[in-house]
């Protein structure tokens, strides 16, 4: 990971409470670890998460969660950033034509490749900050680490790793 980003990971507790409550509690712990006890998470009108920190500008961040982990990445230089964490699910095979073009499908068509492509596109969507952006308008690299958006903006893959059965992908403005 570069010096421009700080990544926080939190295990989501497995208990009898509803999943949404357990996810919110884990994200709350991440927010407090990253920004202190006075920090509060809220959602922008677009639905994107944001954090209010008393006495300073709101940080640039991205949040994601799977069934078992919540992650938060903070951009330390204020540039756009996106993160996603997921486990493979067979439904990705069925929806592949909705998020991969033919060239991408040839490179990312395996189960691990589909999971990688999904998390990279989700992270890129978050970093792009453009509600309604089609995943097909996010072009994954066929080699290298640069994601290109249909509007010409470029995002860099900072991290994409398999971690304890999960694919974690982090992208930032190139």
How many whole angstroms separate alpha carbon 80 and alpha carbon 74?
9
Structure tokens at 56: 């300073």
User: What pLDDT score does 65 carry?
Assistant: 95
Q: Same domain for 19 and 93?
A: no
Task: Domain count for the chain, please give it.
Answer: 2
Question: Cα separation of 52 and 42, whole Å?
Answer: 8
**pLDDT the model gives residue 27:** 97
Query: What's the pTM value of the predicted model, to 2 decimals?
Result: 0.94
Domain boundary among 78, 94, 111: 78
Same domain, 102 and 46: no
Q: How far apart are CA 17 and CA 82, in angstroms?
A: 28
pLDDT of 93: 96
The range of the structural domain enclosing residue 45 comes to: 5-78
**CA-to-CA distance for 4 and 106, rounded, in angstroms?**
33
Q: Do 91 and 72 have their domain in common?
A: no
Name the β-bridge partners of 172: 81, 156
- CATH number (domain holding residue 132): 3.90.470.20
How do residues 148-165 score in pLDDT, each as one tens digit? 999 999 999 999 998 888
Alpha carbon 148 to its chain's center: 16
Where a domain ends, among 45, 78, 111?
A: 78
One domain for residues 66 and 101: no
Q: Which two tokens stand for residue 18?
A: 């509803």
Mean pLDDT in each 10-residue stretch from start to end of the chain (174 residues)?
83 94 96 96 92 93 95 95 97 96 97 97 96 95 96 95 91 92
169 and 119 within one domain = yes
Cα R_g (the chain), whole angstroms: 16
Q: What is the pLDDT of residue 89?
A: 95
State residue 1's pLDDT score. Answer: 45
How far is Cα 66 from Cα 139, in angstroms, rounded to an integer?
Answer: 24
- At 61-82, the pLDDT tens digits run 999 999 999 999 999 999 999 9
């Amino acid at each position: 990971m570069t010096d421009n980003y700080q990544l926080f990971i939190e295990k989501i507790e497995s208990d009898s409470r509803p999943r949404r409550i357990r996810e919110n509690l884990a994200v709350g712990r991440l927010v407090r670890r990253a920004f202190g006890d006075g920090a509060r998470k809220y959602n922008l009108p677009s639905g994107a998460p944001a954090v209010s920190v008393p006495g300073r500008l709101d940080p640039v961040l991205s949040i994601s969660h799977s069934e078992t982990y919540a992650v938060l990445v903070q951009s330390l230089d204020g540039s756009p950033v996106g993160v996603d964490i997921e486990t493979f699910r067979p439904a990705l095979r069925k929806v592949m034509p909705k998020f991969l073009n033919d060239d991408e499908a040839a490179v990312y068509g395996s189960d691990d490749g589909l999971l990688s492509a999904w998390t990279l596109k989700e992270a890129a969507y978050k970093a792009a900050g453009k509600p309604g952006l089609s995943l097909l308008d996010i072009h994954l690299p066929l080699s290298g680490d640069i994601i290109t958006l249909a509007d010409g903006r470029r995002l860099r893959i900072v991290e994409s790793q398999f971690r304890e059965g999960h694919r974690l992908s982090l992208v930032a403005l190139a």
